[in-house]
Chain A
Amino acid sequence: MTRVAAPLPAKARRSRFWRRFVAHRGAVAGLVLLSAIVGGVLIGPWLWPLDPAQIDIAARSQPPSLAHPLGTDQLGRDLLAGLMAGGRVSLLVGLVAMGLAVGLGTLVGVLAGVLRRWDAPLMRLTDLFLSLPLLPLLLAAIMLWRDSLRALLGPEIGIFLLIVGAIGLTSWMQTARIVRAEVLTLREREFILAATALGTRPFAMIRRHVLPNILGPILVSATLGVGHAILTESALSFLGLGLPSDVPSWGRMLYDGTNYMTVTPTRAIWPGLAITLTVLGVNYLGDGLRDALDPRWIRPVRR
């Protein structure tokens, strides 16, 4: 059995990756969608420089107009500006928390799969985290460390790190389990046995043979993780333990908007749509990445 990923020059590998990625139409659509959203929240505030916290009591709960393309909320704050500011926060929370969760989950899963001695203790640790009631744990953590982190890093960064850390540290377990299962099936495959016979060291084995083969499941759980993190953040905000009410995030805007569903329904629709599109985009992107990075890739048969 020869290795599928034969040593290719870096440039050739990149162009092969790109060819495969472009062949996946959904992935391209996901990339475009996600780039549009990320670009919108990053560049948007330059083009639409209204302050999202600017209160204008005279213009409260207004329908969309030229002055406010998405309308205003109950205090006359511009919803478009709020959506862009909220997107920055939500995307940052989603990506950082997902990165933390997936990184930790992959580490635990791979270690448990590759190193037999560590398998049982690490999996018991995973079970332990899975059986912990999540919300009370988050409540306790936030109550314990909120004030000290706030004093150390200032209110905004302190609470942001706390939220991201809390979400990341409590959502890595699914990834760890999936990764371990994948690694265990891989371990019995001939190419791994061959690599072992050739004297490959465990670390090189993980880097060159294991990780590329389990990238698919990791990316899938990463894409799911972004949505999960955005929604957990909004649940925490709802309980008063997330970011404060004056830091807009999509989750908080959605929660605030539901109260006004009968008066101004678009207030709940816009942030909800933004969350949906982001998660959808990340999912498709993940799909394409998985295909493009799969060492066992076979060109899809054209129908």
Chain B
Amino acid sequence: MTNNKGFSRGWAAAFVMTLLPVAASAERGASGHLDILYWQAPTILNPYLSSGPKDIEPASLVLEPLARYDETGAMVPWLAAEMPTRANGGISEDLTTITWTLRPDLYWSDGTKVTADDVVFTAKYCMTQEGGCQQAGKFSDVTAVEALDALTVRLTFAAPKPFPYGPLVGVETPILQKAQFLPCLGGAAQSCTTQNTAPIGTGPYRVTEFRAGDVVAFAANPHYRDPDKPGFATVTIKGGGDAISAARAVLETGEADYAWNLQVDPSVLDAMADGGMGQIIRSFGTPVERLMINRTDPSPTLGARRSTREGGAHPFLTDPAVLKAMSLAIDRAAVAALGYGAAGKPTCDILPAPAIYASSANDDCLTQDLEQARQILENAGWVDADGDGVREKNGIRLSVLFQTSINPVRQDTQALLKSWWADIGIETELRQIDPSVFFGGDPASPDTFQKFYADIQMFTNFFPGTDPEAYLNNWTCKGIPEPANSWLGFNIPRYCNPTYDALAAELAKTSALEDRAAIARQMNDMLMQAGALIPLVHRGDVSAISNTLLGVKMNSWDSELWNIADWTRAR
């Protein structure tokens, strides 16, 4: 029901957007050159082989999905002519098929026509085994994808699919060109360097130069469907540096027009914004800065079995009393205020938005209570018998190794948590890891967040779009990263509970939105009560734009660059 409402809002947005170019009466490329900073540099432009926004968002200039989310979170048709619904027959009555119809005016940037075959191929590309497709979860219960005619594609699901807009919708699953990617099926996917770094797309831009980990240059796509767009003739996305220097380049020196993901001390950021060169834009989506608790033993003595389920359970981080006390000792409001300012709200849920999914069952953690935290530990038998300020029980000391990526805000948060935990008798050792290593996903490195060779780690995760099903599926048993699956998977705490898995299966079968929301809240509460994750701050996305840049609509549900075709320079 609300989905339909979303569509009508989406239609309204699309309608306004079609009016915009007329009002602006711009012509293609009239605004010249655009400089964008992504301080985590893109290393690949194929979203199917990348899990990070640093690659996926730059790729969204070139590759486009059938439909995407606008800045309000509503779905809008993009390459599709309209949104398939049950009302217009696009979704079958039994909810097992969805039929997409492409816009008739679509051309690839090499001038060839976009057909339904490309869509079918894209699904096949991701569903082929050995391809290492990072988005395979979105296609998990797709049984058939077939072209009905040159512009129509039908996806069939194994079971009734109440929310069939997973595959080929949103920034993570855009349409690839069959002619270009045909040699890259299956095991060849990773070795197709040309295709992966310069994909041919339907978007407003095409790649002219790609230097991995450094810079990507784009030029306007001559075959883009709207003859008046994009506004900028060329775009450079520059990587490297850090969040503070990126913010400075836009807000203080004006060297760049747009800087992404500015996790910077708010007092510093606000002081920069006073310079008058640019402004800070914020929007709230689903990102939550959270602690992940390792439920398996990360002790180095276990060798290859460390931080895996074969290595055994964690000696004390599976004790609910310890986890409850650690959570209670945190003053989330202080963390949010110090580290994020206006772009942070304290939260006790891993699923804080959209509002219908937000649970209120865990809100007692919003108030810090050191006394109660101490009492809980005391009652559970954790006492400081030897007077060294650290509690112990049966010879096990409450001493944790807490790691995160290098970022001044995260280091401040680490220092705060360490001091609070010291107050309740838990010793904390801090470790910082270079973000390119920590988030790099290299299976050979011991310092990736998937390997998790520590007791606790902290970072932000989120889900694109508004449906949390795939996000909640992260914490099912099969999502646990381990050597057997090359450490892929997002169940970082190694949480495994058959009841949770059963709820996930039920969610996949439930269609009514209210019922889905109830199950999602229940899953969120299970994770919170088990203490597998300790959420800290519901983070807004923070970016900086130059005062001369027009048309930017900050979007937390899709790529921040989703409407770059509409961006122009003020004169």
Contact = CB atoms under 8 A, between A and B. Distances in A.
Interface of A: 53-55, 57, 60-61, 74-75, 143, 147-148, 150-151, 155, 238-241, 244-246, 256, 259-260, 262-263
A148 B453 CA distance: 13
Interface in B476-525: none
A53 B415 CA distance: 8
A247 to B, nearest CB: 9
B447 A147 contact: no
Interface of B: 244, 264-265, 267-268, 271-272, 300-301, 334, 338, 401, 406, 408, 411-412, 414-416, 418-419, 429-434, 445-447, 453
Contacts of B419: 53-55
A246 B415 CA distance: 7
A75 B415 contact: yes
B429 A244 contact: yes
A53 B428 CA distance: 13
Contact of A240 (B264, B300, B432): B432
B417 to A, nearest CB: 10
Given A75-B412, A256-B408, A259-B408, 9 more contacts: A57-B334, A74-B267, A74-B338, A240-B431, A244-B431, A245-B414, A246-B414, A259-B244, A263-B267
Contacts of B408: 256, 259
B338 A60 contact: yes
B338 A75 contact: yes
B411 A245 contact: yes
Among B301, B416, B432, B453, the most chain A Cβ lie within 10 Å of the Cβ of B432
B418 A143 contact: no
B412 A74 contact: yes
Contacts of A151: 300-301
A259 B264 CA distance: 9
A259 B447 CA distance: 26
Contacts of A54: 419
20 contacts: A53-B418, A53-B419, A54-B419, A55-B416, A55-B419, A57-B334, A75-B412, A147-B446, A148-B300, A150-B300, A151-B301, A240-B406, A240-B433, A241-B434, A245-B411, A245-B414, A245-B415, A262-B268, A262-B271, A262-B272
Contacts of B429: 155, 244
Contacts of A245: 411, 414-415, 430, 432
Nearest to B337: A57
Contacts of A244: 429-432
A227 to B, nearest CB: 24
Contact of B447 (A53, A55, A143, A262): A143
A53 B420 CA distance: 12
B419 to A, nearest CB: 5
Contact of B268 (A148, A150, A240, A259): A259
A72 B447 CA distance: 33
A274 B3 CA distance: 62
Nearest to B272: A262
A139 to B, nearest CB: 9
A260 B433 CA distance: 22
Nearest to B300: A147
A241 B415 CA distance: 18
Contacts of B268: 259-260, 262-263
A235 B291 CA distance: 27
Nearest 5 A/B pairs, CB to CB: A240-B432, A147-B300, A244-B430, A245-B411, A240-B406
A262 B431 CA distance: 28
Nearest to A247: B430
Contacts of B432: 240, 244-245
Among A53, A60, A245, A263, the most chain B Cβ lie within 10 Å of the Cβ of A245
A52 B478 CA distance: 45
Contacts of B300: 147-148, 150-151
A61 B401 CA distance: 28
A209 B338 CA distance: 63
A148 B446 CA distance: 13
Contact of A61 (B267, B334, B415, B447): B267
A146 B319 CA distance: 28
Contacts of A155: 401, 429
A4 to B, nearest CB: 54
Nearest to A150: B300
Contacts of B418: 53, 246
Given A240-B406, A259-B408, A75 B433 contact: no
A5 B480 CA distance: 73
A240 B338 contact: no
Nearest to B412: A75
Nearest to B411: A245
B415 A240 contact: no
A155 B454 CA distance: 13
A246 B427 CA distance: 13
Contact of A55 (B267, B415, B431, B453): B415
A239 B338 contact: no
Nearest to A238: B406
A140 to B, nearest CB: 11
A57 B413 CA distance: 12
Given A60-B338, A240-B432, A263 B412 contact: no
Among B244, B408, B447, the most chain A Cβ lie within 10 Å of the Cβ of B408
A143 B446 contact: yes
A143 B406 CA distance: 16
A74 B265 contact: yes
B397 to A, nearest CB: 12
A239 B432 CA distance: 9
A245 B429 CA distance: 10
A246 B301 CA distance: 26
B2 to A, nearest CB: 41
Nearest to A57: B334
B84 to A, nearest CB: 48
A244 B406 CA distance: 11
A245 B300 CA distance: 22
Contact of B430 (A57, A143, A246): A246
Contacts of A150: 300
A54 B54 CA distance: 36
Contacts of A256: 408, 411
A136 B367 CA distance: 45
A241 B267 CA distance: 28
Contacts of A143: 445-447
A263 B408 CA distance: 15
Nearest to A51: B419
A79 to B, nearest CB: 14
Contacts of A147: 300, 446, 453
Contacts of A60: 338
A246 B422 CA distance: 13
Contacts of B264: 259
Contacts of A239: 406, 434
B416 A75 contact: yes
Contact of B434 (A74, A240, A262): A240
A234 B198 CA distance: 38
B136 to A, nearest CB: 30
Contacts of B430: 244-246
A55 B268 CA distance: 19
Contacts of B301: 151
B379 to A, nearest CB: 27
Contacts of A61: 267
A150 to B, nearest CB: 8
A60 B434 CA distance: 27
Contacts of A55: 415-416, 419
A232 B419 CA distance: 28
B550 to A, nearest CB: 28
Contacts of B244: 259
B485 to A, nearest CB: 23
